[in-house]
Amino acid sequence: MGIIKSSFSFLVGTMCGVYIAQNYNVPNIAKLMNTGIIMAKHIEEIYRKPKKRDED
């Protein structure tokens, strides 16, 4: 009885997640995160201070 009771919320959550993913337009989190990282790198390159050159 203990294992069924402890895994009930996990099973219900999994079933709800599958239902939502199949019936609604859920964004792909991995793709969204990758796009955010690319945008952050681009912004960093634009606003980065120029490197100092040692002129002797």
Give whole-number Cα distances, 51 to 2, 8, 38, 54, in Å. Answer: 62, 58, 22, 10
Q: How would DSSP label each residue in 4-41? A: HHHHHHHHHHHHHHHHHHHHS----HHHHHHHHHHHHH
Asked if residue 55 belongs to a domain, the reply is no
Is the pTM higher than 0.85? no
| Residue numbers of the domain that contains 9 | 2-47
Q: Could you tell me which residue, 11 or 6, shows the higher pLDDT?
A: 11
Asked if residue 54 belongs to a domain, the reply is no
Number of domains in the chain: 1
pLDDT (tens digit, 9 = 90+) per residue, 12-47? 999 999 999 899 988 888 999 999 999 999 999 998
pLDDT of residue 33: 94
DSSP assigned state of 48: P
Asked if residue 56 belongs to a domain, the reply is no
Asked if residue 52 belongs to a domain, the reply is no
Site of tokens 């709800």? 16
Asked if residue 14 belongs to a domain, the reply is yes
Q: Could you tell me which residue, 53 or 9, shows the higher pLDDT?
A: 9
Q: Are 32 and 26 in contact (CB under 8 A)?
A: no
